Chains A and B, each alone.
Chain A
Amino acid sequence: MPELTYREAVRDALAHALRKDDSVFLMGEDIAEMGGSMAVTQGLLEEFGPKRIRNTPISEMAIVGSGIGAAIQGMRPVVEIMYEDFLTLSMEQLVNQAAKHRTMSGGQVKVPLTIRTQGGAGWSPGAQHAQQLEAWFVHVPGLKVVFPSTPEDVRGLLWSSIYDDNPVVFFEHRTLYPLKGEVPTELEPIPLGKARIHREGEDVTVVATGRLVHEALQAAEAAESEGISVEVVDPRTLLPLDEETIIGSVCKTTRCVTAHEAVVRGGFGAELAAIIQQGAFDWLDAPIERVGARFGPLPFAPAMEQWVVPQAADVLEAIRRTVARS
Chain B
Amino acid sequence: MATVEEKAGTGKKRVSNDALRGFFREMLLIRRFEEKVEERFRAGELPGFLHVAIGQEAVATGVCSALTREDVFASTHRAHGHAIAKGTPVDKIMAELYGKMEGCSGGYGGSMHLYDLEVGNLGANAVVAGGLPAIVGAALAFQMRDEKRVAVAFFGDGATNTGTFHESLNLAQLWKVPAIFVLENNGWAESTPAEQQLPLPVDQLGKRAAAFGMKLIEADGQDVEAVYLAALAARDHALAGKGPVLLHVRTFRLTGHFVGDPQVYRDREALKQERETKDPIRLLGARLELTDEDLAAIDAEVTAKVEASVEFAKAGTDPQPEDALKYVYA
A contacts, CB < 8 Å to B: 25, 51, 54, 56-57, 59, 61-62, 64-75, 77, 92-93, 96-97, 101-112, 141-142, 144, 165-166
Contact = CB atoms under 8 A, between A and B. Distances in A.
A105 to B, nearest CB: 4
A165 B138 contact: no
Contacts of B144: 25, 51, 70, 75
Q: How large is the interface on B (under 10, 10 to 19, 20 to 34, 35 or more residues)?
A: 35 or more
A96 B164 CA distance: 13
Interface string B88-127: 0000000000000001111111000101110000110101
A106 B327 contact: yes
A62 B175 CA distance: 12
A38 to B, nearest CB: 23
12 contacts: A51-B144, A65-B136, A66-B140, A68-B134, A73-B138, A77-B137, A92-B130, A97-B134, A108-B105, A111-B330, A141-B328, A166-B330
Nearest to B74: A69
B103 A106 contact: yes
Given A106-B103, A109-B115, A73 B141 contact: yes
B31 to A, nearest CB: 26
Given A93-B133, A108-B115, A62 B171 contact: yes
Given A51-B144, A106-B105, A68 B329 contact: no
Nearest to B169: A62
A15 to B, nearest CB: 19
A54 B140 CA distance: 11
A31 to B, nearest CB: 15
A165 to B, nearest CB: 4
B190 interface: no
Nearest to A90: B133
B117 A105 contact: yes
Contact of B138 (A56, A69, A105, A166): A69
B168 interface: yes
Given A51-B144, A59-B167, A74-B141, A109 B117 contact: yes
Interface in B295-330: 326-330
B171 A142 contact: no
Contact of A106 (B107, B132, B171, B174): B107
B130 A97 contact: yes
B108 A105 contact: yes
A165 B330 contact: yes
Given A59-B167, A59-B171, A62-B170, A69 B113 contact: no
Contacts of A61: 133, 163-164, 167-168
B87 to A, nearest CB: 15
A205 B96 CA distance: 49
A69 B329 contact: no
A227 B189 CA distance: 68
Nearest to B326: A107
Given A105-B115, A112-B330, 15 more contacts: A57-B170, A61-B163, A61-B164, A65-B132, A69-B122, A69-B134, A75-B141, A92-B127, A97-B125, A97-B127, A102-B329, A103-B327, A106-B103, A109-B122, A166-B330
Contacts of A67: 137
A72 B122 contact: yes
A69 B140 contact: yes
